[in-house]
Every structure is written in structure tokens, then in C-alpha cells.
Chains A and B, each alone.
Chain A
Amino acid sequence: MHEFAVATELVEAALREAQHRNARRIERLECRVGAMRQIAPEMLVDAFALAAAGTMAEGAVLDVKTIAPIVICRSCGDRREQREWAYRCPACGSPDIRLEGGDELLLASVTLEIEDER
């Protein structure tokens, strides 16, 4: 249950960005979450709604993009994104693989409603 810690930090980072740009409201946040983080997107969205309540981010849409690791096969050299946790090379079946990435955890962007936006 680390979703709430993530949600709190997302709100904090978005508020900082909003203040810096004199925004009136935060409309949307996009975060990128590596599959290895084992963060449940629905739980993160629920936690975000709670963490954002009473702030400029209240009611904002949280868009969670899950990032799968890249599987690199040491046997056949195949290299591809793998959504399913097969733990074998999807091309040749070898267990001699290496997983790269999938541990990302980023606030990618925020959409702000700015005070005197003309």
C-alpha cells in the first residue's frame, strides 16, 4: 500500500508547479509508473483524489501510464517490451534474459489553468 505515498508526492509536485506558474487550477496530471513498482493504477487514482481534496488539484484527472520492462535475451539477442511476466525470452524461450527498465516513477506533465490566460 505505497499508493498513498505516491499520491501525496504527486499532489505536492503538481502544486509546486502550479504555484510557480500562477495557475488557478490543476486540471490533469500524467504520471509514468514502471510495472516493477507494483502500483495498482485504480488504487493510485483513489488515493490521489483523497490527497488532492481541498487543494488546487482537487478534481484533477490523474492519468497513469504503466511502463513495461524491456526483455533482452542473452541467447538469441531478441529485445522487446514485455507486458506479461513470462520470465523467458518471448522469441526463443530461453530463461537467460535480462530485464531493463520498468522501475520508472515520474510525474511526466501537468495541465494547468492559468490565471490570466489569453
Chain B
Amino acid sequence: MNVEVMRNVFARNDALAGETRALLRQHHVTSVNLIGGAGSGKTTLLEASLPKLTGAKRVAVLEGDIATTHDADRIAAVGVPAMQLLTDGGCHLGASQVHHAIRKLPLDRLDIVFIENVGNLVCPASFDLGEERTVAVLSVAEGDDKPAKYPLLFKRANAVVLTKLDLLPHVTFDIERCTRYIRQLNDAAPIFPVSARTDQGIDEWVTWLTAPAGQ
């Protein structure tokens, strides 16, 4: 007997992500899922952005990592509460891990929750964590063809942050070509070229974070 199913393979993950999203909305908390390769500068981007946010917003960070609490320690050092989510070798965060963590947060006393995913351009792109905004983080040191190589992430992203702009004179990275690859997949996502080291572009990115979704 042949039965047509036509069911989304990650239906269970997505249903739980939906619950997380509803919970966060109910508490008026914006959530941001940062996805990028290992060493793309996700934690450094947070270190540069959080001090500009914490004056007006109450922020917490969930730090996804394969191992160690280094990143959570770095976030805590800038005065923002961070919870480390260890995947013990797992290559991505799943909705259930994030859901359990979110339920432990004092949501009534928060405005923004960042989820820093495990450094990986492939696997995390397939998993909805219940975030309001998915952000792709790509450093100019990684190469301008990455959106073409990892299309799912750039298709899904609500914004793309190009990090380490201060390295541009030292690497072969054509922002125009990178933008073209992104636009083949995604018409809408704003692209923020930034440097955490020189502070270039960080204000524009932070403004986007604090603006209502869909802008």
C-alpha cells in the first residue's frame, strides 16, 4: 500500500520552534539567530554590538557551541547575561535545546535574545529555532562566493552581516560580487558591511536590530 505523506521532514522541530516564537512574542521579546562559519566573527560582532544596545534594551545571549564556555565568558565580560548551550559535538542547535533554554530566561525582563549558533554554514540553516530574525554572518576573509556555496542560509536570512571589513585591503573579496550572489537568492535582506575593530557599520546594524521587524 502506497501512502502519500508530503510531510516536512523537520515538522517536529518547526512545531516546537513555533511554540518558542509564540512565547517570545507574548513577552514582546525580539530574537535573533546568528548563523555563520567558525571564526566568522559572530561573538566579536556581539561584543561590539551589545554595549550599544544595553543602554536602551535588556539583552540576553544563548551561546551555542560544540565545546567550551569561551564564548559565553566573552559575552558575560561585556556585562550581558549569557547561557552556554553545548551540543557535545553536534553541528547545529535544534529547536528543543533553544526552547528549554528560553523557558529558563526571565522573559518579562528582556527585550532582545540573541542565539549564537554553532559555527557552521550548512546544518544550522535547516533548523528553525523560533527566532524572529535569522542573520547570516560572513567575514570578508572567507571569500565572496560563500552565498553561492551555502545558498540555503542566504536564502533564509533576514539580514546579512559582512564582518572584518578592516581586512578588505588584505583579502580578495568583491563586495559587489558577494551582493550579487546574495540577491540571486534573497531580494529583501539588508546587507551590513561592518568592522568590529574600527566600529564601521556597527551603528547601522544595531539600528536595524532595534527597528520593528520587516524593516
Contacts and interface: CB of A to CB of B under 8 A. Distances in A.
Interface string B90-110: 011010000000000000000
Mostly, the A contact residues are mixed
Contact of B2 (A2, A14, A69, A111): A111
A92 interface: no
B3 A1 contact: no
A37 B126 contact: yes
Interface of A: 1-2, 5-6, 9-10, 12-14, 17, 21, 23, 31, 36-38, 69, 85, 87, 95-99, 102-103, 105-114, 117
B9 A105 contact: yes
B69 to A, nearest CB: 23
Interface string B1-41: 11111111111110000000000000000000000000000
A93 B88 CA distance: 45
Contacts of A96: 180
Contact of A13 (B7, B150, B156, B185): B7
B1 A21 contact: yes
B123 A109 contact: no
A109 B184 contact: no
Contacts of A1: 91, 123
29 contacts: A1-B91, A2-B91, A2-B92, A2-B123, A2-B126, A5-B94, A9-B12, A13-B7, A21-B1, A23-B1, A36-B151, A36-B155, A37-B152, A95-B180, A98-B184, A98-B185, A99-B151, A99-B184, A106-B7, A106-B9, A107-B6, A107-B9, A108-B5, A109-B2, A109-B5, A110-B2, A111-B1, A113-B1, A114-B1
